[in-house]
Amino acid sequence: DQQVKQNSPSLSVQEGRISILNCDYTNSMFDYFLWYKKYPAEGPTFLISISSIKDKNEDGRFTVFLNKSAKHLSLHIVPSQPGDSAVYFCAASYTGTASKLTFGTGTRLQVTL
């Protein structure tokens, strides 16, 4: 049962344009969401997070939007840079689970010149 889904396994975006990565979840108890970036043979790097009491969080080029009614979140990267090319995972957790994260399957972003 995949509680966190990233339906696009890959995405290609031109440098300078906006990258939009999407994530859907099914468990309505999730109240905290995170995005991680991962290069091959490395551990994930934390990018940005959002609590369910908010609908938007921004940090530099990265913005995460949360739509609780649709159980959907998205990560916007603008402007996209070649160094952003990596696999992006969304993750979710809820209070009372000892901070356990449930990860999506990942989206491979390729930023082209």
Partner 1 sequence: GAVVSQHPSRVICKSGTSVKIECRSLDFQATTMFWYRQFPKKSLMLMATSNEGSKATYEQGVEKDKFLINHASLTLSTLTVTSAHPEDSSFYICSAGAGSQRGRTDTQYFGPGTRLTVL
Does residue 69 belong to the site contacting partner 1 (CB under 8 A)? no
Q: What are the DSSP E strand ranges found in 26-98?
A: 32-38, 45-51, 56-59, 62-67, 72-77, 86-93
First vs last C-alpha separation in the chain: 38
Q: Hey, what are 54's tokens?
A: 């908010």
How far are the Cα atoms of 23, 80, 90, 99 from residue 83, in angstroms, in the given order? 22, 8, 19, 30
Pairwise CA distance, residues 77 & 21, whole Å: 8
Considering only the stretches 11-19, 28-36, 64-72, 76-84, report the one whose residues sit in contact with partner 1 under the rule CB under 8 A. 28-36
Residue with Cβ nearer partner 1 (3 or 15): 3
Q: Pick from 52, 71, 101, 110 the residue near partner 1 by CB under 8 A.
A: 101
Pairwise CA distance, residues 41 & 39, whole Å: 6
Our finding on whether 65 is near partner 1 (CB under 8 A) is: no
Cβ closer to partner 1: 91 or 111? 91
46 contributes a contact to partner 1 by CB under 8 A: yes
Instruction: Kindly state the smallest distance separating residue 7's Cβ from partner 1, in Å.
Output: 13
Interface residues with partner 1 (CB under 8 A) are: 32, 34, 36, 41-46, 49, 51, 89, 93, 98-101, 103-106
